């Protein structure tokens, strides 16, 4: 691609010398964690889907942490006018943002919002009809959840405070479990940092805006093009929020709620395309502009190909063959699973020389003493956290091999998701619906698992899920990338994240309990999160009543996805004229592209025209406008979601779901 421009080559480098971040920055970050966590809980549990809200943790730039950064930048400008020594430096602002982004996302979906309802669901939803008490209650460890049925009932009824006596043990146990997961992913980031950032020089498009926004002198905020993009996105989102509260005002549909290609294709076989909403999210258009042309092109191209696969299978009459749901032709979800497995394994293979050097450094045969010390600590944290997870699963009643398989698959998906974010920078990222839990239970079959193991795995559904939007690992890697760009002391950053994690996890757990006990999980709270807590046990009931046998077609589809990804990677490495990217294939086989395909197509077309006919200078001059689209969309989403938490019955237009 002659016109491909890497973000790394844009003028985003900080000065060669950066004053070390003061301790006050870490203290500010830690103090901001509890209020930001509670904001996430109130926005997503209290406002939920009924009143609308901007999801504060599910985008590549988490809205909650980024909105906090924007607020600090504005306050910083005011403080600098009062007393220069009060001003936070760029490295300190980035440190605060990195700690908040790397920790608070665990409070949302995929984290506490899935875990906490799951701890109560088996008791509350048990009935004589489903017979859950006799079916699997005996397999649940007593230390997993409160043993007092009234405490669980009040979780759903609401109107009371948290019965903390009954929750102390489960909160301690599951907080330790979650902390171990976050420390494991942080260790992986440390071990892969130099390979991805310094050797492969991945672009990390989602770090561009935070770094630009915090530059000394606030240069970005003086650019008129940025403010033009900001105003367009902010006014559009604010208008739609007004429209939700005053229905007489016409709404400008950017979420594809009315515009859907699938509505116009009702005849066979084209109806197999299904829903295909036409969205115009400003921030996704902005993010798409930061990506390479081959990434955006591949994303929407392979998404179209998945739709054509469905049409072809419908045309020849095999679309209904299989177990149903995701387990039928053309097995898109299982192709995606193969692609995710391939991306992780290829990342290890490509970095094998570097990983061998890491081992040499740890053994003291190369590298400096400081490098050896940091790598030994990272490896020790990796081994100890994984060992704790295996011990946790073993203590709960799983065989160590089964626990190791489930956790290994889960971390493989997380590694792939982080790699995708680092290079493809998607607006948000779902994994394939054939997630680790699905691969172990349905693709491999349930007969190899004991009823106790199936029961324990239902509690692990939040980390073995396809919903990777609120995964901490990509933000942890972004933090390491930003620290290198501005010469921020990595040791201080890592301590900030580790201590922030220890603060955030129990705070997020108790905060979620307090909101649910106040609203009632079956009362005024958001229903989707409660459903996600119950859903694993509905599946468990099905597995126990009717065991699932392995399906060779699913395994073949996983193998096909793996091979296609490997071939695309080989072609990209050896045939430079090929404009496709293997990450586009991986993302297209997930739910990610469902609402992203058109914004990416718009970005690809606009950027391609600029580079072909006007050159790199025009591309650079237009960049602030697209950064402004991201900034304006996030600003209105964060602002009105914050206001909605305090104004009764106010409805908020969601900017990212």
Q: How confident is the model at residue 464 (pLDDT cuts 50, 70, 90)?
A: confident
> For 478-498, how does the pLDDT look when each residue is reduced to its tens digit (9 = 90+)?
999 999 888 888 889 999 999
Provide the 3-class DSSP secondary structure of residue 327: strand
The pLDDT of residue 512 is above 70:
yes
CA distances from 164 to 118, 149, 157, 172, 521 (A): 18, 14, 16, 11, 17
Q: What does the angle CA 65 – CA 67 – CA 68 come to, to the nearest 5 degrees? A: 65
Beta strand ranges found along 269-326 (DSSP E) = 322-324
Q: What Rg do the C-alpha atoms of the chain give, in angstroms? A: 24
The pLDDT of residue 16 is above 60:
no
Q: How confident is the model at residue 4 (pLDDT cuts 50, 70, 90)?
A: very low
Domain residue ranges in the chain:
7-644
The pLDDT of residue 595 is above 90:
no
Ranked by mean pLDDT, which of 167-181, 219-233, 276-290 comes out on top? 167-181
The pLDDT of residue 577 is above 80:
no
Q: What is the mean pLDDT of residues 588-602?
A: 90
Q: What is the mean pLDDT of residues 160-186?
A: 96
The pLDDT of residue 188 is above 50:
yes
Q: What is the mean pLDDT of residues 9-32?
A: 70
The closest of 573, 585, 539, 110 to 341, measured between CA atoms, is 585
Mean pLDDT across the chain = 89
Q: What is the mean pLDDT of residues 508-515?
A: 96
Q: What is the mean pLDDT of residues 394-403?
A: 95
With pLDDT > 90 as the criterion, what percentage of the chain qualifies?
A: 62
> For 89-129, how does the pLDDT look when each residue is reduced to its tens digit (9 = 90+)?
889 999 999 999 999 999 988 889 999 999 999 999 999 99
The closest of 490, 493, 512 to 501, measured between CA atoms, is 493
Q: How confident is the model at residue 368 (pLDDT cuts 50, 70, 90)?
A: confident
| Per-residue pLDDT at 2 | 38
Q: How crowded is residue 174: how many other Cβ atoms within 10 Å of its Cβ?
A: 25
The pLDDT of residue 353 is above 80:
yes
User: What SS3 string covers 552-611?
Assistant: HHHHHHHHHHHHHHHHHHHHHHHCCCCCCCHHHHHHHCCHHHHHCHHHHHHHHHHHHHHH
Lowest mean pLDDT among 118-122, 240-244, 323-327, 638-642: 323-327
Answer yes or no: pTM beyond 0.75: yes
Looking at per-residue confidence, does 521 or 655 come out higher?
521
DSSP 16-37: S--PPPPHHHHHHHHHHHHHHH
| Per-residue pLDDT at 19 | 58
Q: What does the angle CA 290 – CA 294 – CA 300 come to, to the nearest 5 degrees? A: 90
| Per-residue pLDDT at 576 | 66
Segment (H or E) for 249: none
Q: How confident is the model at residue 371 (pLDDT cuts 50, 70, 90)?
A: confident
| Per-residue pLDDT at 11 | 41
Q: What is the mean pLDDT of residues 156-162?
A: 93
> For 322-345, how does the pLDDT look when each residue is reduced to its tens digit (9 = 90+)?
887 888 899 999 999 999 999 999
Q: What is the mean pLDDT of residues 214-219?
A: 79
Lowest mean pLDDT among 75-84, 277-286, 559-568: 75-84
Q: How confident is the model at residue 255 (pLDDT cuts 50, 70, 90)?
A: confident
Q: In angstroms, rounded to a whole number, what is the distance separating the alpha carbons of residues 519 and 157?
A: 8
Q: What is the mean pLDDT of residues 458-467?
A: 88
The pLDDT of residue 1 is above 70:
no
Return the structure tokens found at 405: 């398989």
Q: What is the mean pLDDT of residues 536-541?
A: 94
Segment (H or E) for 328: strand 327-328
H-assigned helices in 105-221:
112-124, 132-136, 149-157, 164-193, 208-213
| Per-residue pLDDT at 222 | 82
Q: What is the mean pLDDT of residues 525-545?
A: 92
């Amino acid at each position: 691609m002659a016109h491909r421009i890497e973000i790394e080559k844009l003028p985003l480098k900080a000065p060669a010398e950066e004053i070390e971040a003061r301790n006050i920055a870490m203290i500010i970050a830690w103090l901001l964690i509890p209020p930001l966590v509670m904001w996430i809980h109130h926005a997503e549990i209290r406002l939920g889907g009924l009143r609308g809200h901007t999801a504060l943790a599910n985008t590549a730039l988490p809205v909650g942490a980024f909105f906090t950064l924007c607020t600090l930048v504005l306050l910083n400008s005011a403080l600098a006018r009062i007393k220069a020594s009060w001003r936070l430096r760029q490295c300190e602002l980035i440190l605060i943002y990195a700690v908040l982004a790397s920790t608070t996302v665990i409070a949302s979906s995929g984290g506490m919002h899935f875990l906490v309802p799951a701890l109560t669901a088996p008791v509350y939803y048990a009935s004589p009809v489903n017979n859950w008490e006799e079916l699997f209650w005996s397999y649940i460890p007593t230390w997993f959840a409160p043993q007092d049925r009234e405490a669980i009932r009040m979780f759903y009824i609401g109107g009371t405070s948290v019965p903390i006596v009954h929750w102390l043990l489960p909160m301690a146990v599951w907080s330790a479990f979650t902390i171990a997961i976050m420390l494991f992913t942080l260790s992986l980031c440390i071990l892969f940092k130099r390979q991805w950032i310094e050797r492969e020089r991945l672009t990390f498009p989602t770090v561009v805006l935070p770094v630009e926004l915090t530059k000394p002198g606030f240069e970005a905020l003086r650019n008129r093009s940025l403010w033009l993009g900001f105003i367009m996105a902010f006014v559009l989102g604010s208008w739609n929020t007004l429209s939700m509260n005053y229905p007489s005002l016409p709404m400008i549909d950017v979420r594809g709620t009315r515009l859907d290609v699938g509505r116009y294709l009702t005849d066979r076989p084209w109806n197999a395309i299904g829903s295909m909403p036409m969205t115009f999210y400003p921030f996704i258009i902005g993010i798409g502009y930061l990506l390479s042309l081959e990434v955006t092109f591949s994303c929407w191209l392979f998404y179209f190909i998945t739709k054509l696969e469905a049409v072809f299978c419908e045309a020849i009459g095999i679309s209904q063959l299989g177990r149903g749901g995701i387990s039928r032709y053309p097995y898109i979800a299982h192709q995606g699973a193969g692609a995710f497995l391939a991306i992780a394994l290829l990342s290890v293979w490509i970095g094998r020389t570097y990983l061998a050097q890491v081992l040499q450094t740890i053994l003291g045969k190369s590298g400096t003493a400081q490098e050896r010390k940091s790598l030994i600590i990272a490896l020790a944290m990796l081994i100890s956290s994984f060992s704790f997870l295996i011990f946790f699963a073993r203590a709960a009643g799983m065989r160590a091999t089964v626990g190791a398989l489930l956790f290994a698959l889960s971390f493989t998906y997380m590694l792939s998701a982080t790699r995708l974010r680092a290079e493809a920078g998607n607006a948000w990222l779902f994994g394939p619906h054939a997630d680790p839990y699905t691969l172990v239970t349905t693709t491999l079959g349930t007969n190899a698992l004991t009823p106790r193991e199936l029961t324990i795995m239902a509690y692990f559904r939040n980390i073995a899920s396809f919903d990777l939007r609120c995964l901490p690992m990509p933000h942890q890697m972004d933090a390491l990338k930003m620290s290198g760009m501005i010469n921020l002391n990595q040791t201080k950053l890592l301590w900030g994240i580790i201590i922030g994690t220890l603060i955030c996890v129990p705070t997020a757990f108790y905060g979620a309990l307090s909101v649910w006990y106040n609203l009632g999980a079956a009362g005024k709270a958001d229903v989707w999160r409660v459903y996600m807590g119950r859903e694993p046990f509905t599946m468990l009931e099905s597995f126990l009543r009717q065991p699932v046998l392995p399906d060779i077609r699913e395994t073949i589809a996983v193998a096909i996805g793996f091979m296609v990804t490997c071939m695309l990677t080989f072609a990209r490495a050896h045939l430079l004229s090929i404009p496709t990217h293997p990450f586009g294939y991986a993302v297209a086989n997930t739910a990610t592209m469902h609402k992203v395909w058109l914004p990416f197509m718009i970005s690809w077309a606009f950027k391609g025209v600029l580079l072909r006919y006007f050159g790199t200078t025009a591309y650079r001059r237009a960049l602030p406008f697209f950064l402004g689209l991201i900034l304006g969309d996030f600003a209105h989403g964060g602002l009105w979601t914050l206001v909605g938490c305090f104004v009764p019955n106010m409805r908020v237009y969601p900017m990212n779901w």
